[in-house]
Structure 1
Amino acid sequence: MTPPEGLPQSWVEALLDDDPEELYQRAPCGLLSTTPDGELVRVNKTFLDWTGYRREDLVGRRSFVSLLSPGGRLYHETHYAPMLQMQGQVREVALELVRADGSRLPVLINAVLDRDPDGEPRAARVVLLDATERRRYEQELLLAKQRAEASELRARELARTLQQTLLPPAPPTIPGLDFSAAFRPAGHGAEVGGDFWDAFQIGPDDWVVVLGDVCGKGVEAAVVTSLVRHTLRAVVIGLHAPSQALAVLNEVLLVHETDRFCTVVLVRLQRQGATWRATLGSGGHPAPLLLSPGSPAVPVSGSGPLVGVLDNARFEDRRLTLGVGDKLLLFTDGVTEGRRDRELYGDARLRSCAERHRGSTEELASAVLEDVVMFQHGNPRDDVAVVALGVPG
């Protein structure tokens, strides 16, 4: 009879011959018997073969705990021995034996405590299973986990670096206008998103503010985001109306090799004494909120379809005057579509938050970002970008 894999021929023969002693000695596991205080009184040949000890070196001369590594001895005294005494057994305890040559053998241990009729401990029976392959497998899993964590960390750093190239390094200083921006990537920031903002000057007291959202995430979305930003920077200089700039951007995206589209709100700001004339154009983007002193927040925007989807798309402008104390809040759909279970953050919650934080553009932008992130338990599912601008008092 051919023995099953892992079982010695002698053990199978002993099983067929029904030889209990040979079964004990040649069992495919280490077998020990100890006194209640741990002195070795019997060991099988399998255990001796594994460890390289002679029987006479162990029986009556060594304790079980003396065969363990320093860490194993500590665990034996603090966990193994007390558990055996209190519960009468231990199961699948992982320890390391120190072989006769000083090398170590990882083992899994099951043990039971025999008691006499009066309930007094009589002997401990210990079964040891060679855990070398299991330990190797666990180490491989640990290394794989460490490599995955390192790779994820590198991906996050790369995403963070790439995202930074898509955003201005700092909000601009605009004479006569307060400006603040806030951004939070989705999740833990491991993947670059498509939300972006930009602000730049095109003439004396003449500025352009852009907030947009390219569909999708990853490197391709980042490429399109960069294309959108640079296209708008190039075309707004020669085109007065935001709607015209969005029409050109629409054509650029249609002929680009990508099939990605975006939403954009573009605001051209021209100073007129103590006020600013704002011309807004939008391509499928959430309407900004206008906050005027003593009035509730109201949505204002030009209108138009998603950018990069339709041929000959038509965009319209909306003009308004920003007076002293007025503020304009721009945001991406990561704000209003922020989700907590089945509940959306929504327009009403956004207006309420904005109306409670009218103090400064920095307070407004930061409060909205913080509120929508907290609504999602600190783990937003989408990028969140907020821009606030206003005429100081």
Structure 2
Amino acid sequence: MSDVYIVGAGQVPVSKGGQVLGRDLAARAVHAALDDAELDNPDALYIGNMMSGLLSDQQQLGALVAQTASLRGVEAATVEAACASGAAAARVGYMAIASGLARAVVVAGVEKMTHAPRDKTTAALATASDWLHEGSRGESFLSLNARLMATYMSHYGLGTEVFAPFSVTAHDNACDNPNALFHKDVDLDTYLTSKEIIPPVKLYDASPVCDGAAAIVLCNADVARAAQRVGRPLVKIRASAVATDSVGLDHRRSLLRLDGVVQSSRRAFEQAGIGPSDVDLFELHDAYTIISVLSLEGAGFAAPGEGWRLGADGRIGRHGQVPIATMGGLKGRGHPVGATGVYQLVEAWLQLIGRAGAAQIPGVEIAMTQNLGGTGATVVTHLLTREA
């Protein structure tokens, strides 16, 4: 297998209500990534997207973005894995390079959501549930995550206040990210007094509906060394792993852990030959605060029932033991569904090469990203390392 490197990245600011088409958002991110990598002839383009067909009546985004980005003729395809579509596309790009079938590829994630009526968007998101048993019976991802949160609180005898640090941290970190949707602090009182959307989920437990696109350039070692800029370290994808769980919650062995997170994390750590204690930051999938807690536990950063303590003890901030959502995460930066996994990789890469600006964590050498589809039915984990 060939080693796989990230040599360039691009992103557009996460937004709401803009008039720019999804294809154009993606093309802007692709151009920015290619310009950053100083590369103009990728072997392939892989697009992560979930809802273009449902909300914009547009499929074939691979070819469409290739056309819009003036990459006509390039190999292109769209990858769908619900909210994990972006990281799943990165996984496809990783395999193309690792297998030797390609020397350099572009991976982009894009989602355009805010132009559609809210009820249509909610219904489209619900197609990532087990439709027969959940979506068709009125379940939404708000209600499904409320169920996970209520189960956790009841089992461990906790109140909603234990989830507050995850929202507060995300919003605080987003203030230092010019591409984030939100640039406002959220304190404990704001969280506690925010309205309950579906009990026990509060407004500040949930990530927003928004638009965005991000892209990365992946390549093999030869291209990476040729493209390396003076003063910019190389970043290798040291592990790429995917695992699945039952799509519907009623088919899970337990609602107190995310088995897909457990297996995907374990596989990634085994590939890289490291463990949780070696990770300098964890860009987890904080679509809901309960998912942050369950992800920290499933990935091995905390014991079952103890993930919330990392927030309570201040260990998830940028200077903490396990920095999460370092540039705002899904809650603060925003969650443009199909783009989220690529935003995570862009942000981890920026941290590793020292270009995260005011959000920079000193001395980052190993970064972990994890993108979930649905309530953890698809889990894509990547481990990135900085090289000299």
- Tell me if TM exceeds 0.5: no
User: Highest relative contact order (Cα 8 Å, sep 6+), 1 or 2?
Assistant: 2
Give the shorter-chain TM-score range: under 0.3
Normalised TM-score (structure 1): 0.22
Q: Which structure dedicates a bigger proportion of its chain to strand?
A: 1
